[in-house]
Chains A and B, each alone.
Chain A
Amino acid sequence: GAVVSQHPSRVICKSGTSVKIECRSLDFQATTMFWYRQFPKKSLMLMATSNEGSKATYEQGVEKDKFLINHASLTLSTLTVTSAHPEDSSFYICSAPREYQETQYFGPGTRLLVL
């Protein structure tokens, strides 16, 4: 069964609003979670590493103020897309390592559409 969940699965919002996406590890604790963005017919692009108890680590070119990440507990990380614009429309996927740091389990993804 699923070990990582995401909510919501899809969201439509107006330009200028903020959207929060949750990522939960269901039956294990994750001190680290990862947030990816996937464009249509493209691979996954790592956006940031979410660290419980400390600041997230962002990849080069990812706007920290645009994509706010909070690792609130050992089972929850949130990604907030602030002042969303149509170009932020994408498929966002989170992952968390379970037994070993090398093996990541992925959430089902969140489809964001900004009108």
Chain B
Amino acid sequence: AQSVTQPDIHITVSEGASLELRCNYSYGATPYLFWYVQSPGQGLQLLLKYFSGDTLVQGIKGFEAEFKRSQSSFNLRKPSVHWSDAAEYFCAVYGGATNKLIFGTGTLLAVQP
């Protein structure tokens, strides 16, 4: 069965520091992978997605993610975090046969001044 694991429940970084949020997936075929961000009390905004091709994908707000098939990972990165990046981040995999998005449990990012 498809699943997504985000090992870090909560991460705190200093403003200007680099960021990496981890995501591991379980999926039998080539996965469609997504990162979404949710600000408090808001819906989800799509940051980036991977379907095929270049394994390093660029997203909005300066985020990028790298698909590593050998590690079943799709980690999200940002070279320099801004205070406005404080939010919850969700990794998701699309289950083609089920036509559903399967979400990880999320990582809450706090940014210290």
Listed in ascending order, the chain A residues whose CB lies under 8 Å from chain B are 4, 6, 32, 34, 41-44, 46, 49, 91, 93, 95, 101-109, 111
Min CB distance A110 to B, Å, is: 10
Partner of A44, one of B94, B99, B103: B103
Known A32-B99, A44-B90; contact A107-B105, beta-carbon cutoff 8 A: no
> Count of B residues near A, CB < 8 Å?
22
Closest to A38 in B: B38
Interface string of B29-49 (1 = CB under 8 A from A): 000101010000111111001
Min CB distance A11 to B, Å, is: 14
Using Cβ atoms and an 8 Å threshold, which residues of chain A touch B100?
34, 46, 49
Interface residues of B in 62-101 (CB under 8 A from A): 90, 94, 96, 99-101
